[in-house]
Every structure is written in C-alpha cells, then in structure tokens.
Amino acid sequence: MRIDSASRLLASRCVLFALAFLACGLVSFLPAAAQTAPAKDLLIYSIDVEGGQATLLVAPSGGSLLIDAGWPTPDGRDAQRIQAAMQDAGIVRIDQVLITHFHHDHVGGVPELVKRVEVGEFLDHGVNREDADITRTDYAAYLKAIEGKPRRIVHPGDKIDIPGLEAIVITADGEHIASVPGVKPVPNPLCAAEPKWELDTTENPRSAGVLVTFGKFRFLDLGDLTKAKEIPLACPRNLLGTVDLYMVDHHGFNLSNARAFVDAIHPRVAIMDNGAHKAGSPEAWQTVHDSPGLEDLWMLHTAEDSDAAHNSPAALIANPAGAATDGVWLKVSAQADGSFFVFNPRNKMAVAYPHK
C-alpha cells in the first residue's frame, strides 16, 4: 500500500529486523546495536553525494561493488562519505568500481577516492562520447587517476564477479542487453501510448547499468539512462521483468523515467538519489510514485525546488530541508528470500518489506 503522508506511514508499517529483533509495532526505531545487519544480508548504501551518485553494494561474502564516486570536491567530501559507508559495512577495500558514465557528478570523485581506498578493478563503458570540455576534462582526470590499475570495458550481457551475487550489465555505451537470463520477455501494453523520445548526445544515454540479483531479490541501477534508451528495455516487450528495488534513473530528472519503462519493471521500492536543488523533478517523481505496486519512494533529499505534493513524506527522506547537516545515506538490507528493509539513520527508522 502506497504511503501518501507521514501519518499513514506511522499507522501502517510493522518493522521486522530478522535475527536481531522482533518488534510488533507500527514503526520501530532501531537501537544502535541493531543497526548492523546479519552477515547473510546484502547491504546497499545510497550515499548522499548531493545530487550525484555513489551506491555501495556489499555482499554477504564481503565482496563489494561501488557504482560511481560522486563529485570532485577540494575537501574529498564524497570520498569520505563513501569511506563512512564502508566502515559501517565492515569492509576496508572495494573490489570493483563501476563508472556508469563520465559526467562530473559520477566520475569526478574517482581521483580522491583512489588516494584513500584500495580498489581492485575499475569498470566503465569505454571512451567518452560527449563533445563538451568539462566531460573531456573529467574523463582525462579519471584515466590519469586509475593509470596502472586494472580496468575493464563492459558491454551488455557481461557479468560482474561479486561472490554470492549475480550482477549483469544491462546497458553500456548506448547498447542494451538482448535478453536477461531467467526472464521471459512479455508484451508491454503501455508502449502504444508512450511518446517517441529523441536521443540526446550527452554521456547519459551511454550509461553502464546493472541488474543485481541476490536469491529472489533484484536491484536495478541504470545510472543516468534517458528515456530514449529506457524504452527499448521495455518496448515492445519488457526484457527485464520486475524488480524489488529501483535506483531512480538520472536522480529523478524528467529526461528519464518513461512511464512505459517504470511501470514495466514494477518496483516495490524506489530510491531517488537527488540533491536539494538537483533533479527530483515533479513529473519524474509522479511517474515513479504512481507505478503500480510501488510501496514506497525514498529520497536522499527534499527536492526544495519542487512542492510538497511531489516530495515523499519526511520520514522517507534522508536529508530534509533545513537539516543541520547533510550526508545521511539510506541503507538497504536484503535477504535471499526477497525480503528487505530500508533504514534511515537520520530518524533511526526502518521499514520492512516482507518477501512475496
């Protein structure tokens, strides 16, 4: 049941922390000792990098994947926030870093990250395709930062080796996977009403995106993929099936999140990695919010340039307007049976999503 207000949230959830505690109540606030998930959980951190992306996955095996590294900042802010999530997850190195594309807010943090964190391998879609000075500069800085380190160019259908997980590249360099193992493509009736979207010439449609499966749990992150490249994944047939957790494409910009695509993947829960004054567009927010079967739409920030009707309840926002500090992540703990919960450290609230 979709949550439309904080009061409905407080009146409709029973929070369970498997093996840590059983608490029957409408919402439970986790004691400090219960904030570390059991070792059998897949951990996903949507790290607040102020409207860029940095998403850390840590498998029960300890294997790790970081999707993007945030912005370049003089003080290494985003690298420090990534390190904080690593510490919470109990890891000291990152096995693989996937750079979805070569925009400032995704690849810019790599030079500072490699100064602080050991990385086993870098993955990306290949060469920069955007004719813009800033993107060329960021791409050159990325290549310089990873010089001498293992690097692999990924293509649709490639596997990313994370022990205990199945991670498959869905999109890369403007191409997409022809089929997903174990998924039977089905016709999508929404395609007929979907407008024809023009392809932009930025790095966004070149994004390398992944589908990560842990038992019955499925997580989709397609970077900043835009509508013209989302639609071939869903039309005329849905190639991806449904997902449990969707990292909202492109931070919730209107250029992404086509209705025929979002409704086809049918996410149970979505996380929008927007900034206070970046993305979180009302149209994209509404499309995701109205997707059939969506239970909750979480946000890293209040979208301050939007309105109350197009922001999630405050309890589901990691960094609300007027907060004394930013930098609060959203933490997902998923189990192989498909159940998971989302934890907001700001208010110590966890919402459970039982397996179906």
Per-residue pLDDT of 243-255, as tens digits, reads: 999 999 999 999 9
pLDDT one-digit tens code per residue, 159-202: 999 999 999 999 999 999 999 999 999 999 999 999 999 999 99
- Among 19-28, 129-138, 325-334, the range scoring the smallest mean pLDDT is 19-28
For residue 1, the tally of other CB atoms under 10 A from its CB is: 8
Distance CA 305, CA 278 (A): 8
- Residue pair 180/240 in contact by the 8 Å Cβ criterion: yes
Token pair for 121: 């391998």
- Residue pair 233/213 in contact by the 8 Å Cβ criterion: no
Cβ density class 88-101: b for 16+ within 10 Å, e for less:
bbebeebbbbbbbb
* Predicted local confidence at residue 39, as pLDDT: 60
**Res 33 pLDDT > 80:** no
Token pair for 275: 């900034």
Distance CA 85, CA 81 (A): 6
Distance CA 97, CA 101 (A): 12
Q: How confident is the model at residue 352 (pLDDT cuts 50, 70, 90)?
A: very high
- Residue pair 259/238 in contact by the 8 Å Cβ criterion: no
Average pLDDT over residues 218-222: 99
* Predicted local confidence at residue 325, as pLDDT: 76
pLDDT one-digit tens code per residue, 341-351: 999 999 999 99
pLDDT one-digit tens code per residue, 95-131: 999 999 999 999 999 999 999 999 999 999 999 999 9
Mean pLDDT across the chain: 91
- Residue pair 91/289 in contact by the 8 Å Cβ criterion: no
* Predicted local confidence at residue 31, as pLDDT: 38
Average pLDDT over residues 132-158: 98
* Predicted local confidence at residue 80, as pLDDT: 98
* Predicted local confidence at residue 326, as pLDDT: 86
**Res 305 pLDDT > 80:** yes
* Predicted local confidence at residue 13, as pLDDT: 52
Whole-structure pTM over 0.85, yes or no? yes
The CATH number, out of the four listed (3.30.420.140, 3.40.50.2300, 3.60.15.10, 1.10.340.30), of the domain defined by the range 6-14+39-345 = 3.60.15.10
Percent of the chain with pLDDT over 70: 89
